[in-house]
């Protein structure tokens, strides 16, 4: 699956859950709490394929899934630019020291596997919006 189709699918899944919680009268704080990994594994099994294996994407104690993916991620399925005869498809806009550019043959993709920035509650509260697409509005790099 390309980045953009994942992005659109994930936006829909996120919206469905948030709309449901808003209909139930949940507050911002309660909605963020609802998105904690343990609760999501139990109640929103389709939100992430890792839930079926009870596996976290990052081994941190209080993993929150509200902001998966990350507002700092940038991508274009057609490629952002050429770098040393390779095509770069994604990058980190803030050059996080915990992220890296992974090289896979001719392709360069951002590797966030060691970065936990968007999974912490404090970060989510600071960058919060009910609309996931608004939070991620800078992620798509249009050609």
Binding residues vs ligand SF4 (CB under 6 A): 70, 72-73, 92, 94, 96, 98-99, 110, 112, 115, 117-118
Q: Which is nearer to ligand SF4, 23 or 142 (CB)?
A: 142
What residue number has its CB nearest to ligand SF4? 99
Q: In what order do the strands lie in the sheet with 81-83?
A: 81-83, 86-88, 107-111, 100-104
Task: Provide the CA 72 distance to its chain's centre, in angstroms.
Answer: 9
Q: Which is nearer to ligand SF4, 15 or 120 (CB)?
A: 120
Count CB atoms within 10 A of the CB of residue 4: 14
Count CB atoms within 10 A of the CB of residue 74: 19
The CB-of-43 to ligand SF4 minimum distance in angstroms stands at 25
Answer yes or no: are the C-beta atoms of 57 and 50 closer than 8 Å. yes
Q: Which is nearer to ligand SF4, 7 or 73 (CB)?
A: 73
The CB-of-100 to ligand SF4 minimum distance in angstroms stands at 8
The CB-of-24 to ligand SF4 minimum distance in angstroms stands at 30
Structure-derived torsion over alpha carbons of residues 91, 94, 99, 102, reported in degrees to the nearest 10: 20
Distance, in Å, from the CA atom of 143 to the CA atom of 126, rounded to the nearest integer, reads 30
Q: Which is nearer to ligand SF4, 118 or 141 (CB)?
A: 118
The CB-of-65 to ligand SF4 minimum distance in angstroms stands at 13
């Amino acid at each position: 699956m390309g980045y953009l189709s994942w992005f659109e699918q994930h936006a829909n899944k996120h919206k469905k859950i948030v709309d449901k919680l808003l209909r139930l009268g949940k507050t911002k704080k309660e909605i963020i709490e609802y998105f904690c990994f343990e609760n999501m594994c139990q109640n929103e099994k389709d939100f992430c394929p890792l839930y079926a294996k009870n596996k976290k994407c990052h081994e941190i104690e209080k993993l929150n899934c509200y902001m998966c993916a990350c507002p700092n991620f940038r991508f274009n399925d057609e490629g952002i630019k050429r770098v040393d005869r390779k095509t770069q498809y994604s990058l980190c806009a803030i050059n996080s020291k915990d992220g890296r550019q992974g090289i896979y043959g001719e392709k360069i993709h951002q590797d966030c596997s060691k970065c936990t920035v968007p999974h912490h509650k404090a970060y989510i509260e600071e960058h919060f919006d009910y609309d996931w697409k608004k939070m991620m509005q800078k992620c798509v790099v249009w050609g």
